[in-house]
Structure formats: C-alpha cells, structure tokens
Structure 1
Amino acid sequence: MRYGMNPHQQARILDGVGPRVINGEPSVINYLDALNAFALVREADTATGRPSATSFKHVSPAGAAIAGDVDTVAADLWRVQGVAPTSMFSAYVRARDADPKSSFGDVVALSRPVDRETAQFLRTVICDAVIAPGYEDGVAAELSAKRSGSFLVLEADDILPGVRGRERRDVHGVTIEQDRDTADIALALPDDGSLDLATRTDAILGLLTARYTQSNSVVFTRAGAAIGIGAGQQNRVDCVRLAGSKARTWWLRRHPFVDGLASVVGMGRQDRLNWQIRFAGHEMTRGQLEEFTQLFGTEARAQYDDPTWRDAHTATLDGVTMTSDGYLPFRDNVEHAGEFGVTTIVEPGGSTRTAEVVDAARILGITHVQTGLRLFHH
C-alpha cells in the first residue's frame, strides 16, 4: 500500500482477495473506507432493489442514499438538471448532498457500474476514490486522469471473494476473531403493516448505514436518503443531537434565505456551499461574520442574526425515520428526536428503561419499533 494509517507507517496486504486497483495507490484508510462503503451499497441495493451510493470519510458514511428524486435545491447547487430518479447518478448526488461539508475528499461507493454521466460529475467534485462493480467503456480511464493521475479507481465484484464467515483483527499484538455480521436486517423489522413501504425502506437504509458507521451511531433517513448521521459518540443522546443538527442544516439549506443567497462573482461552488452551511447552521466565527457581511451584504447579515426563521422552518421538517445501532437508554433521546421531524424510531430495545422510551414516543406521536438487533461497528 502507499502507506498505513499515516504516511510514516508502512503497510501491505498479507492475505485475502480484495478489490482490483485500476488506478492509484490506496492507503490503509482508503482501503478500509472502500471495503466498508462497498459492503454498505451492495447490501442496500439488494435489500431495496434500487441503485445505492454512499460517501465515506474516515471509516464512516457522511451520506448514503438509494436512487430517487434530486430536488431543485440539490440540482441547482450541484449544477445537474434532469437527473433520472431511477439512476445510479441520482443516488450519489443525494448521498453527497446530505452532508457536503463532511463529504469533501470522500471515498465514493456505487452499487452498480459507473456510467459516463456519473463519472463526469465525479470529476467536478473533491473526492479521493471510487469503488464500483464495473465501469462503462472509457469511464475508468477518464476517472484515472483526475487529480493529476493519482485518483484511486477500484473495481469489486458483487460479493467480494475475500469475504469469509469470520474476520480477524490484530490489536497491539493480540489477534481477535469473530463471526462476520450477516444478520438479515429486513427480517428484524416487523411485517405487520405498522410501517408503510416508504418508511420501511428508510428504516432498512438507516439500519444498513448504522451497520457500517463507527459506534455509537444514530441515522436519520427521509425519502430514501440519510440526511443526518451521528457517528462515533460515547453516549447515545449526543448521537441523536448530532444526527439531528445535520438533518436540520440539510433542511435549512432548502429555506429561501439560504438557497437564495446572492451569487458572488468568482466564487466557486464549494466556497458558496460552505457559506450556505455556515449561514443555515448559525455557526460562523467573528471573522467569518465580517467576511460574510462584506460578501453578501447587511440584509443577509440581518437574516443570519434572526433566529426565528430557523426555528419556524425546522418545525416543518417531518417524515424522518431515526435508526439506532444500540438501544435508547433514556427518554431524552426520543424528546430530542422529536425536535427534528422524527416520526418513526427503530432501535433494538431491551434497555431497563425501554418502557419509558416507548411512553415518550407515544406522547409525541412517534411510531416506535424494537428490532432486538444491535449493530455495533468498530
């Protein structure tokens, strides 16, 4: 490999058959991202029957989605029009749009072969690698030219031949072996009509995303896309709040104040996007506020300082499904979720206070589903 976790660490593959390297040299993190990302999209495609994509950063997804409608805000931002809602391309645009700040420099995983339309888009965004089960004629060569020829292009079979029933890890000289997590997520969900098809699909996508997200993790999904992922927190309520804040920012980017932020001559797409995210999330430093006012004017600054429109617009977000990789230990998880448009919660259950969690969901009118399936991932 190019290097290990860091440039000062050497690394090599000792065993197993992984994805084919068409171009570039992977580091350990590139490889871990690619393997986990590809497993996620292949499982999502199999479970939903729709093309699936994910944007991976540091061994957790920043976004994940199945093919679907690309709304006008995303279409305008990413400068793509007329994207077919059944296409592989639509899945990645939706996945990247979920948390584009985190997707900057991502590893892209696609569940189906890369077509020219998707490849041309990948050449316009900041990403480090792509893994897919194949490429249309000439597409792999086009992508290989990205980043002065260093862009990492990987090809994997539908099921990686190196996947075994058990997996091993060496940690400080200790070798640990365990069964690979192959639990059927769809079977863990009730099939009694309590979840309509759209919500059930969101729940499946959310659970699969949680399966490949560093624990603790909580995923907010809506209309076939993960719009907020809270990963790697030491307590579950912080996962909920983090996922909720990301979903809130995603929704606020659709507010006319944010979407209609004035264009600045010479400003690139990513810089404009960064300003929109800071504006929506009310997260500017003093220095950024001064620059923002100079760039966009006093009216935009007044909108930034006004808290009322953010709260009012957030209150219109609904139809969100929240999935959790571990049980919810306290009712505050539900109460925070309710502030971000969550109408369905899917979790393992089994906490000593699950009855309180169920009661909190009932009071807030949130459908509560217990799967009995924990999905920790490290």
Structure 2
Amino acid sequence: MRYGMNPHQPARIVGGDGPRLVNGEPSMINYLDALNAFALVREADRATGLPAAASFKHVSPAGAAVAGTIDDVASRTWRVPPGASGSLVSAYVRARDADPKSSFGDVVALSRPVDADTADLLTTVICDAVIAPGFEGGTVGRLAAKRGGRFLVFEADPSLDAPLRERRDVLGLTIEQERDAIPVERALPADAPLDAIGRVDALLGLVVLRYTQSNSVAMIRDGAAVGIGAGQQNRVDCVRLAGAKARTWWLRRHPFVDDLPAVAGMQRQDRLNWQMRFAGHEMTRSQQREFADLFGTDTLRTYEDDRWRAEWCGALDAVTMASDGYLPFRDNIDHAAESGVRAVIEPGGSARTGEVAAAAEEAGIIHVQTGLRLFHH
C-alpha cells in the first residue's frame, strides 16, 4: 500500500481476498473505508431490494441511501434531474446530499455496477475513490482520469463473503471473534407497526449502524440517512449530533438558505459550506463579517434571527431513528422528538427501557425493540 494509517507508517497486504484494485495506489484507510462501505451497501441492497450507495469518511458513513426521489434542492445542488427514481445515481445523490461538508473527499460505495449517469456525477464531485461490483463500458477510463490519474477504483466481488471468524492484532495481542452477520431483517419484528417506507428506513438504519463507529445513532427519512451521530462516548450526544445534522439537512430546503444570492466564481463546495453554516447558525464572528461581504447585510440579519429556523424545523417529520445500543434514558427520546422522529428502533433491554418506551408513547413515537446490538469498532 501507499502507506498505513499515516504517511510515516509503511503497510502491506499480507493475505486474504479483497476487491480488485483497478486504478490508483491506496493507503490503509482507503482500504478500510472501501471494504466497510461496500459491505454496507451490499447488505442494504439485500435487505431492501433497492440500489444503495454510501459516502464514507474515516471508517464511518457520512451518508447512505437507497434509490429514491431526488428533491429540487438536491437536483440543483448536484445538477441531476429531479423526481422519483430507482436509479443508482439517485442513491448516491441522496447519500452525498445528507452531509456534503463531511462527504468532501469521500470513498463512494455502490451496490450495483457503475453506469454512465453515475460516472458522470462522480467526475464532477470531490471524491477520492469508488468501489462497486462492476463498471459499464467506458466508465473506468473516465473515473481513472480523476485527480490526475490518482483516483482509486476498486471492483468488489458481490458473491464473496468474509470468513465467519475474524482476527485483529492490537499491540501484540491477537483477538478472534465471530463475524457480525445476523441479517437485520431477521431482527426487525415482523409485527412492528411500520408502513412500507418506515420498514425500509428501519432496515437501512440498522445496516448503517453495523458499519458506523460506535456509539452511533442514525436518523433516516424516506430511504436516506439524513443524520448520523458516530463515535460518541454517550448515547444522548449521538442523538443530539444526528439530530443537528438532520435539522441542517432540512433547513437547507428553506428558501432563505436555498436562495442565497449567487456569488460569481464561488465553487459549489464553498457555497454548500456557507449554506450549512447559515442553516445551522454556526458562524464565528469573522465568518459573519465575511458572510455579510459575500451575501449582504440583510441576509446576515436573517441569519441572526432564529425564529424561521424553529418554525421550519417544526415541520420536519417522518424520521426514523435507529440506535446501535439500547437507549439508557428518556432524554434520548426527548431530543429525538425535536428532530421529527416518529419511530425509534433500538435493541432494548436496559433497566430503564420501560421509561424510554413510556417517553416514546408520550411523544407519539413508535418504539420498536430488536434485541440486536450493533457495536462496531
């Protein structure tokens, strides 16, 4: 490999079966992202029957989605046609649009062979690698030319299953465990009071958590993970982080944010970053001064007024929240309710699960216990 976790760490592959390297020279993190990302989309495709895509950064998804509707905001942002779609490109547009700040320079994973439309999109976004189970004619050459020929292209074998047992060496200690391979659809109760869309959202949420650094919580809406809270030491912070990302995604649909004045010469990613700062009310004082210079003092006054955010977020609804571990306190539900969550999927089994279930009922939230913990490290 080019190097290990860091450039000063030499690394090499010493055995095993993996994806075929078609182009580029990966580092260890590139491999870890590609392997985990493809496992996620392959499992999501199997569980839902829909093409799936993921945007991976530092061994956790920044976004994940199955094929579905591209709304007007995503259509304008990524320059693809709007509307309902069962296409592979719609899955990646929805995955990347969830948190485009985090997806900058991502590893793209796709559950179906790369077609011309998806290749067209990937040539226009800042990403470092793609992994897919195949490539239609002409797409490999176009993708391999990205980043001056350094773009990483992996071809995965979708029929290849990992060994049932896995090992890890940590500071001289070798640990072996059984691979986490229980189908999530088996864990989701058949009689759970979820409609067809809610069931897809629940399945996608569980699959996303299986490949997200724990503790983790995922908020899913209409087949797309619009907020992922990963790697926190307490669960309520996961909920708060996922909720903040989901609300920022939703606020980007507000006319105040979507219709920010155009600035000549501004790159798409720079505009997205300003929109997310504006939506999330997260600018520093120096950024506010720069924002006023770019977009006008009237727009800055709108930024400073929080009333429109509260009103708009009050309409966020139909969100499913999945948790990789049990929810230990009702405050998880209280925070989830403020992000439009209407169904919670969790293992259950806490000493306070009864209190959590009561809080969900109080908030009008469906509470589903799976009995399946999905920690991933």
TM-score, scaled to structure 1: 0.99
Deviation at 1:215, TM superposition (A): 0.2
Mapped to 2, the partners of 1:273 and 1:289 lie a distance apart of: 16
Deviation at 1:160, TM superposition (A): 3.0
Mapped to 1, the partners of 2:191 and 2:293 lie a distance apart of: 57
Contact 1:83 1:90 in 2 (8 A): no
Name the SS of the counterpart of 2:360 in structure 1: helix
Mapped to 2, the partners of 1:9 and 1:55 lie a distance apart of: 26
Q: 2:350 — aligned with what?
A: 351
Mapped to 2, the partners of 1:67 and 1:101 lie a distance apart of: 21
Contact 1:83 1:89 in 2 (8 A): no
Q: 1:69 — aligned with what?
A: 69
Q: 2:95 — aligned with what?
A: 95
Which residues of 2 match residues 4-23 of structure 1 at below 5 A? 4-23=4-23
Deviation at 1:117, TM superposition (A): 1.1
Q: 2:294 — aligned with what?
A: 295
Name the SS of the counterpart of 1:318 in structure 2: coil
Q: 2:310 — aligned with what?
A: 311
Deviation at 1:83, TM superposition (A): 6.4
Q: 1:121 — aligned with what?
A: 121
Q: CA RMSD in A?
A: 0.9
Mapped to 2, the partners of 1:84 and 1:307 lie a distance apart of: 32
Number of positions where the alignment pairs a residue of Structure 1 with one of Structure 2? 377
Contact 2:69 2:82 in 1 (8 A): no
Which residues of 2 match residues 202-217 of structure 1 at below 5 A? 202-217=201-216
Contact 2:216 2:228 in 1 (8 A): yes
Deviation at 1:159, TM superposition (A): 3.1
Q: 2:166 — aligned with what?
A: 167
Deviation at 1:205, TM superposition (A): 0.1
Which residues of 2 match residues 103-142 of structure 1 at below 5 A? 103-142=103-142
Which residues of 2 match residues 222-241 of structure 1 at below 5 A? 222-241=221-240
Deviation at 1:17, TM superposition (A): 1.1
Contact 2:210 2:324 in 1 (8 A): yes
Q: Deviations over 1:76-116 (max 9, x none)?
A: 11111256611000000000000000000000000000011
Mapped to 1, the partners of 2:6 and 2:192 lie a distance apart of: 49
Mapped to 2, the partners of 1:188 and 1:24 lie a distance apart of: 39
Q: Which amino acid aligns with 2:308?
A: W
Mapped to 2, the partners of 1:18 and 1:51 lie a distance apart of: 22
Q: Which amino acid aligns with 1:120?
A: D
Mapped to 1, the partners of 2:285 and 2:104 lie a distance apart of: 24
Question: Mean alpha-carbon deviation: is it higher for 129-138 or for 151-160?
Answer: 151-160
Q: 2:270 — aligned with what?
A: 271
Deviation at 1:194, TM superposition (A): 1.1
Deviation at 1:49, TM superposition (A): 0.8
TM-score, scaled to structure 2: 0.99
Q: Deviations over 1:222-258 (max 9, x none)?
A: 0000000000000000000000000000000000100
Q: Deviations over 1:341-364 (max 9, x none)?
A: 000000000001111101100110
Q: Which amino acid aligns with 2:126?
A: I
Q: 2:189 — aligned with what?
A: 190
Mapped to 2, the partners of 1:247 and 1:108 lie a distance apart of: 21
Contact 1:228 1:247 in 2 (8 A): yes
Q: Percent identity?
A: 69
**1:35 and 2:35 aligned:** yes
Mapped to 1, the partners of 2:286 and 2:159 lie a distance apart of: 49
Deviation at 1:189, TM superposition (A): 1.1
Cα distance 1:365–1:23, how it changes in 2: closer, same or farther (>3 A)? Answer: same
Deviation at 1:138, TM superposition (A): 1.2
Name the SS of the counterpart of 2:244 in structure 1: helix
Q: 2:328 — aligned with what?
A: 329
Mapped to 1, the partners of 2:341 and 2:220 lie a distance apart of: 9
Contact 2:72 2:82 in 1 (8 A): no
Name the SS of the counterpart of 1:377 in structure 2: coil
Mapped to 2, the partners of 1:18 and 1:215 lie a distance apart of: 24
Q: 1:286 — aligned with what?
A: 285
**1:79 and 2:79 aligned:** yes
Q: Deviations over 1:127-166 (max 9, x none)?
A: 00000000011111110000000000000111335x1001
Contact 1:19 1:160 in 2 (8 A): no
Q: For structure 2, which runs of at least 5 residues remain unmatched after alignment?
A: none
Q: 1:154 — aligned with what?
A: 154
Mapped to 2, the partners of 1:71 and 1:298 lie a distance apart of: 29
Q: Deviations over 1:172-206 (max 9, x none)?
A: 00010100001111111111251111101100000
Deviating beyond 2 angstroms after TM superposition, the runs of 4 or more aligned structure 1 residues are none
Q: Which amino acid aligns with 2:18?
A: G
Q: Deviations over 1:309-358 (max 9, x none)?
A: 00111110000000000000000000000000000000000001111101
Deviation at 1:292, TM superposition (A): 0.4
Cα distance 1:84–1:316, how it changes in 2: closer, same or farther (>3 A)? Answer: closer
